[in-house]
Amino acid sequence: MENKQDLYLKENPTLEDLQGYVKQMKIARGFNTTDKVYECLLFAEECGELISAIRKNMSKGSIGSGSVAGSVKLELADVLIYLCSLANMHGISLEEAFREKEAINMQRTWKKL
């Protein structure tokens, strides 16, 4: 188990800071840092939990008796953690990837629905 002082995320972190924190956190806690397929499965699972939380929190969303609506906020955080982890495993800077993709998107014509 890590020492609380070993992991630190500064105020107003950049995307690079978040990626670095996730990398350190996973190593400190002994979590997977190499199996990309397994990480994809965990990422998909967290995406499903996010979707479920959103559905359960909708005004017309259904929820079974005894069920508790999930926290959209916390599920979004889980998705971000796994997204950062996958980027780390592939040696990808999410900020650079975002900027590259947005430059491509700026050249596209978007059809409004």
Q: Which domains occur in the chain, in start order?
A: 15-106 (1.10.287.1080)
pTM for the full predicted model: 0.85
Give the amino acid at 67: S
Q: What is the pLDDT of residue 101?
A: 97
pLDDT tens digits in sequence order for the chain, 113 residues long: 455 558 999 999 999 999 999 999 999 999 999 999 999 999 999 999 999 999 888 877 666 655 566 789 999 999 999 999 999 999 999 999 999 999 999 999 988 88
Q: What is the pLDDT of residue 110?
A: 87
Q: What is the pLDDT of residue 4?
A: 55
